[in-house]
Structure 1
Amino acid sequence: MTELDCPLVSVIIPVFNDAERLALCLAALAQQTYARSRYEVIVVDNGSEQPEQIQAVAAPYDWVTIAMESTPGSYAARNKGLTLAQGEVIAFTDADCIPAVDWLERGVAHLRQTPNCGLIAGRIEIFFKDPQRPTSVELYESITAFPQERLLSQFHGGATANLFTWRAVIDRVGGFDDQLKSNGDLDWGKRVHAQGYEQRYAEQVLVLHPARASLGELYGRTRRLVGGYYGLRLKQAQSLGQRQAVFLQMLLQNLVPPVSFAVNAALDTRLSSVGQKLKVSWVMVLVRYISAWETLRLKLGGVSSRA
């Protein structure tokens, strides 16, 4: 693809207190095979405690714009980025992701090759801090996190850690619901699908994402995901009865022991030993009960977490 053939791409990256991993993300974007003059990067600081660190990481790159968004939540930050974006193509990734060197080139190619395309969801590959000694949480993440192809087929959306679309699509369907702390990407994808656009999963459009390694990280992620999903379900409910049903369904689902998950883990060839399979099943039990508690907390008036 020659420079003249390359549509301008705006890459939008929300960040919150993660300057170290943002540095790796920007370094990977600096090495793209896509023509350097045909993409811009917009980093939206979503209230980091030390914003000067975010600014210092971006300073070496004159093609990176730093913006600020005070409303908590990555979807509010992405919407802020959209107000600044100049590109015909919009690409989303996260501050803790490492895009492959041909990420932009392949993402744009798939977008252009798909008639009436609304979004391209690329592969998100999980990696461990120490591949020889993965933690129980890392093993769990490796078989559960970011199933882009399944998300697209079942929910008509994909994680914004690796997503491409046309600016014209966003102009038609609107931006993200900034009240959601999670699942806003699936909510947006459903709107794209409802407008009749095609959606594709692209295995070759790759970003790397670190697995969460500790119970603390898992706890924070689980709370955020439950809050986003609960908020999305309540948004879709049309009556008080339906809202009550959402609560009860989510609570009861998470109180049921994950027997089918344990069976699937036992059969999963990505887990190399009985010990790994048992560890992953134990983590899933923990996730279920964290999810049940968080659902109850939200029902009692708690605010969804951004952690």
Structure 2
Amino acid sequence: MFFKKNPLLSVITPSFNQASFIEETIESVLRQDYERVEHIVVDGGSTDGTVEILKKYRLKFPNFHFISEKDKGQSNALNKGLNMAKGDIIGWLNSDDTYLPGAISKAVESFKKNPLCGMVYGKADFTDENNQPIRPYPVYPFTLEKLFNECIICQPAAFIKKEVFREFGGADESLYFCMDYDLWMKIAKRYPIGYIDENLATSRLHSQAKTVREMNKIGFLEIFKVSNRNFGTVSNHWVWAFAVNNFPKGRFWLLENLKKHSIFGPSPKILNAQTVKSNWGVQDIAIQLDPTIHTPVHTIILQKNNPNERYMVLIDDKHVRGLKYNKDTIEIPLGFNQSDFQLKLIPHTGGGYRVGSSSSESITMDLLLLSKEEYEFFRHLENGPRKIKGWLNEKRTPVPKF
């Protein structure tokens, strides 16, 4: 793509109930020293006074446009704006973030010097509710390996060719949290990425920001999803950050979610588990493994309801020895590789805990089958969160597909 002398740049701002911040966002666009800019705000039907602010700017500035209607989230709003945009370059500026003076002219100049780039980006700062700097966003000069390891691109400091944005279908509307990281990965695998060694934007951290509110609950798991999708694996940095930030939820919860995203490679999975009978507290469970996964089961982890529960465990009617009891789990060494087996739990004192109560009820929330590497990580978590990074770097070597 060859740029005109002064290409039009379209800034798209998804918005919903951000009356406290959006005026500052709009003003940061208007204060830019580059003349050929249109600003499109796609509002999701705000009820907090945002629309009144938008109407005021539309009356004053011919290149300011907005719509306000119910949407399907931030990605959907961004894609609406993309369809409205007339510019050759897209800036994506959320309604609580701001551009620094000269950001747009620097981005345009970078594209002119590097016309093959699919996108360019610069440095940025995290700011507080009053837009006062807190610390720099961890932005670094671009390499694909760095992007795989962590998100080194700050979204408000990034500018994308519109034709490239459209080539990938805009933002993935199935994603709630890391649609930007997903987009950077897609672009980076196909186009050169330009780096501007100057501060271009601010990213505001406040109590309602998704970065603050949803990272642990949704963010890390979406990052696992998009990293697996684009690179075939997940970096140790993201596994470490997920484990450290969610450590209070317990080892069972951590391993359950790591297994869902194959963090330690193909992981043994339960295809079907049925309670055969449940008399006098005895749990008798027929377990069928997924035959497409050939990784042997090293250890079964059972989640307990109370720390005092003790069981005799039989696998295919053979007594299992060497059980390890923890506060909330029991570790059962398996010691063989087969596609199905029968697990029987006989409480030492009356009343076992609920693993499954009917022949059709899934029990995967209470039982985990771990590979050797998964079990080693499970055990290492006993040492606390501070030592996780060292173990990962020593024992786990992800090989991304670039």
* TM-score, normalization by structure 2: 0.52
2:222 corresponds in structure 1 to 228
Q: Distance in 2 between matches of 1:229 and 1:33?
A: 36
Q: Distance in 1 between matches of 2:9 and 2:26?
A: 15
Q: Distance in 2 between matches of 1:14 and 1:34?
A: 22
Is contact 2:111–2:120 with CA below 8 Å preserved after alignment? Answer: yes
Is contact 2:99–2:156 with CA below 8 Å preserved after alignment? Answer: no
The residue identity in structure 2 corresponding to 1:46 is: G
Calculate percent identity across the aligned residue pairs.
Answer: 21
How big is the shift at 1:33? 0.6
1:171 corresponds in structure 2 to 166
**Per-residue CA shift, 1:246-288, capped at 9, x if unaligned?**
8xx99985675x5xxxxxxxxxxxxxxxxxxxxxxxxxx5x65
The residue identity in structure 2 corresponding to 1:186 is: Y
Is contact 2:127–2:202 with CA below 8 Å preserved after alignment? Answer: yes
C-alpha change, 1:52 and 1:173, in structure 2 (3 Å) is closer
2:51 corresponds in structure 1 to 52
Q: Distance in 2 between matches of 1:16 and 1:100?
A: 22
5 Å-filtered alignment, 1:148-159, equals 148-149=139-140, 153=144, 154-155=146-147, 158-159=153-154
1:42 corresponds in structure 2 to 40
* TM-score, normalization by structure 1: 0.66
* Structure with the bigger percentage of helix: 1
Q: Distance in 2 between matches of 1:31 and 1:291?
A: 49
Q: Distance in 2 between matches of 1:251 and 1:194?
A: 20
**Per-residue CA shift, 1:128-179, capped at 9, x if unaligned?**
4589xx9xxx96xx36xx4232786522673422211212222333311111
Is contact 2:13–2:93 with CA below 8 Å preserved after alignment? Answer: yes
Q: Distance in 2 between matches of 1:210 and 1:96?
A: 6
Q: Distance in 1 between matches of 2:210 and 2:111?
A: 37
SS of corresponding position for 1:117: coil
Of structures 1 and 2, the larger Rg is shown by: 2
Q: Distance in 1 between matches of 2:250 and 2:78?
A: 26
Which fold has the larger relative contact order, with Cα–Cα distance below 8 Å and residues 6 or more apart in sequence? 1
Unaligned runs of 5+ in 2: 261-363, 366-402
SS of corresponding position for 2:183: helix
Is contact 2:141–2:195 with CA below 8 Å preserved after alignment? Answer: no
* Structure with the bigger percentage of strand: 2
The residue identity in structure 2 corresponding to 1:176 is: A
C-alpha change, 1:17 and 1:223, in structure 2 (3 Å) is farther
C-alpha change, 1:223 and 1:171, in structure 2 (3 Å) is same
**Per-residue CA shift, 1:190-231, capped at 9, x if unaligned?**
221222x11022132511233336999833444342353244
Q: Distance in 1 between matches of 2:242 and 2:105?
A: 45
1:266 corresponds in structure 2 to none
1:180 corresponds in structure 2 to 175
2:113 corresponds in structure 1 to 113
1:269 corresponds in structure 2 to none
How big is the shift at 1:61? 3.1
State the number of aligned residues: 250
Unaligned runs of 5+ in 1: 259-284, 302-307
Q: Distance in 1 between matches of 2:250 and 2:126?
A: 22
